Amino acid sequence: MNVAEDCRKYGTVLWQCPQFLFFIMGILIIISVMFSFSLGKRYIDNPQVTLLLILSLTGVLLSIAFIITRSFEQLAEANRLKTEFVSIVSHQLRSPLTNLKWGLDFLMGEGAARNQQETGYFHILRENIGRMHELVNDLLTVSRVEQGTFPFQEKEFELQELIKQVLVEFQSASLASNVEIQVEGKRIPKLYSDPSLVRHVLGNILDNAIRYAWKDVEAAPQGKRERNRIVIRLKDKGSSVRVEVEDNGVGIPAEDQKYIFQKFFRSSNAVRRQTEGSGLGLFIVKSLLEKAGGHIGFTSEENKGSTFWFTLPYGAKTYKEITQPTRG
Amino acid sequence: MKQILFIEDESAIHKTFSDALAKEDYEITSALDGEIGLRLAKEKKPDLILLDLVLPKLNGFEVLKALKADEATKAIPVIVLTNLEQMEDIQKAIDLGARTYLVKSNYDLSEVVDMIKKASKEA
């Protein structure tokens, strides 16, 4: 029996792995039987009674151990199947989505005759295909993170340079939402990590900060009618870098804050402001960062704004394995 | 007129590509599984092959391997067009001789058409 191999299959931490639990239970049973035997020998005169007691105790303990480990095994297997199911379904969804996307690209291509109403509907279709595509990609990422198969590619890179590139990508969105973005902090050493991971994390946090900026400054509460602003700060923390993204947007309601990194959670703000999203973004960001040896957190006050921060070690050449799937 | 062999099991994509590339003066031959694709590649010797990886009968890797093992077809450039995006799949296809590896859902139709035009010019 290869315990390590079986535990890897379930993607659980060692102490939650059914095979490992069974092994530990076995040791505990042997210890308790030996202990009971020494007690029986000391306090019970009749060896037959001692033997009967020991056999009964062993039987009861073995039954309990079997039931517990079997339950854990079923839970772990259900979780593995769920993750596998999500992965397969997401892959299967990609092909018809590509067909739809490319078919629409063709219809919307140069030279295609259509009136204004048709153009409007084509844009709605394109937007919704895009949303579905993003959702499928998010589900695939979640399933890869949970299975521990997310493809990280580490290399050396300049964080400041990467931030500049990310800001270029967000230029039109920040202009459209009237948000000014500043970067503060002196030059920091090069990072040895996965640049696409950092791009994903920073992109997600910035995207949220822009989405939850005040759409109409006049609608902001009294005393809050200032320009929408995001400040990105870089801080050298010795062995790691800390990136902070501070905004003066709508903030997160206090009652929602403890759920913000949960899978599929959308805050009441998101629902009220009708922003799009699957509720997977921050869950993915947190899972990926933890896998890369980093951390994420935030402080927020409703109507005042939020500051999200994350840390990443400078030279984490060996990523920690995610072995504990998040339930949800 | 440049000849392109498109080996892909989704007929909807064949239709879209045929229509999109017809404007660009290309002749598209369609194969809906790996076996037919391999046979047509040997018969027609196209200028370029577009190859999906998830295919009935012979999968894309097997087709690619057979194409590169045959003197008659080994020089034909192959663009892999798939929705598989795991690093090991990409590496395997490149090692087997694919010229380009495109993950379908990451590109617009016009971008893919541009890449095909560029690759067929180089062919």
| CATH code for the domain in which residue B55 is found | 3.40.50.2300
In a domain, B123, yes or no: no
- Taking an 8 Å cut-off on Cβ atoms, the answer to whether A95 and B10 are in contact is yes
A98 and A222 inside one domain = no
A142: closest CA among A180, A219, A90? A90
Q: Is B53 within 8 Å of B85 (Cβ atoms)?
A: no
In-domain check, residue A113 = yes
A5 to A59, A118, A253, A291: CA distances (angstroms): 29, 56, 44, 20
CA dihedral B25, B29, B34, B36 (to 10 degrees): -160
Which two three-digit tokens encode residue B66? Answer: 């057979």
A83 and A200: one domain? no
Q: Chain B partners of A102 at a C-beta cutoff of 8 Å?
A: 13, 16-17, 20, 104, 108-109, 112
Partners of residue A139 on adjacent β-strands: none
* CA angle, residues B60, B61, B62, in degrees to nearest 5: 90
Q: What is the pLDDT of residue A11?
A: 64
Residues A145 and A124 in one domain: yes
Binned at pLDDT 50, 70 and 90, residue A320 comes out as very low
pLDDT of residue A328: 31
pLDDT at A221: 62
Tell me the shortest Cα–Cα distance from A99 to chain B, in angstroms: 6
A164 and A259 housed in the same domain: yes
Nearest to B87 among A95, A98, A151 (CB): A151
CA terminus-to-terminus distance, chain A: 31
Tell me which amino acid residue A140 is. Answer: L
Residues A14 and A161 in one domain: no
Residues A142 and A164 in one domain: no
Residues from chain A that touch B108, judged by Cβ atoms under 8 A, are 101-102, 105
Is residue A269 predicted with pLDDT exceeding 80? no
Residues A121, A213 share a domain = no
Does B37 map to a domain? yes
The arrangement of strands across the sheet holding B2-7 comes to: B26-31, B2-7, B48-51, B78-82, B100-103
**Which of A112-121, A226-235, B1-10 has the weakest average pLDDT?**
A112-121
pLDDT of residue A47: 83
Place of tokens 């092959």: B49
Contact at CB, A98 and B20, closer than 8 angstroms: no
CB A213 within 8 A of CB A177: yes
- Which residues, other chains included, contact A125 with Cβ-Cβ below 8 Å and sequence gap of 6+? A100, A104
Interface of chain B against chain A, CB under 8 Å? 10, 12-13, 16-17, 19-20, 83-84, 86-87, 104-105, 108-110, 112
Q: What CATH number has the domain bearing residue A285? A: 3.30.565.10
Most confident of A136-140, B60-64, B119-123: B60-64
Give the pLDDT confidence score for residue A12 in this predicted structure: 66
Residue A47: partners with Cβ closer than 8 Å, 6 or more residues away: none
Domain count, chain A: 2
In a shared domain, residues A58 and A202:
no
- Asked if residue A197 and residue A178 are part of one domain, the reply reads yes
Residue B99 lies in a domain: yes
pLDDT of A45 over the 90 cut? no
Q: Are residues A207 and A96 in the same domain?
A: no
Pairwise pLDDT comparison (B21 vs A14), residue with the higher score: B21
CA angle in degrees (0–180, nearest 5) for B87-A101-B33: 60
Tokens of A197: 């991971």
- Of the candidates A149, A165, A194, which is a domain's last residue? A149
Residue B54 forms part of a structural domain: yes
Q: Residue A327's pLDDT is what?
A: 33
pLDDT tens, position by position, A87-116: 677 777 888 888 899 888 888 887 666 788
Do the chains contact at B83 and A98, CB–CB below 8 Å?
A: yes
Q: Under a CB-based contact definition with an 8 Å cutoff, are residues B5 and B123 in contact?
A: no
Domain boundary among A85, A119, A149: A149
Residues A186 and A138 in one domain: no
Least confident span in A182-186, A226-230, B59-63, B84-88: B84-88
Of A149, A168, A196, which residue sits at a domain end? Answer: A149
Return the closest-CA partner of residue B36 out of B76, B72, B63, B3. Answer: B63
What 3 state SS string does A247-284 have?
ECCCCCCHHHHHHCCCCCCCCHHHHHCCCCCCCCHHHH
- Note whether residue A318 is domain-resident: no
- B84: containing domain: 2-118
Are A140 and A256 within one domain? no
pLDDT tens-place string over residues A157-178 = 899 999 999 999 898 888 888 8
Residue A244 lies in domain: 155-313
In a domain, B65, yes or no: yes
What is residue B7's predicted lDDT score, i.e. its pLDDT?
95
Write the ipTM: 0.81
Measured between beta carbons, which residues in chain A are less than 8 angstroms from residue B110?
A: 105, 109
Residue B113: inside a domain, yes or no? yes
**Residue B36 falls inside a structural domain:** yes
Domains: count for chain B: 1
Residue A121, number of CB atoms within 10 A of its CB:
10
Interface mutation vs chain B, best among A87, A95, A144, most B CBs within 10 Å: A95
**Are A287 and A261 spatial neighbours (Cβ–Cβ below 8 Å)?**
no
CA A124, A129, A132, A137 torsion-angle sign: negative
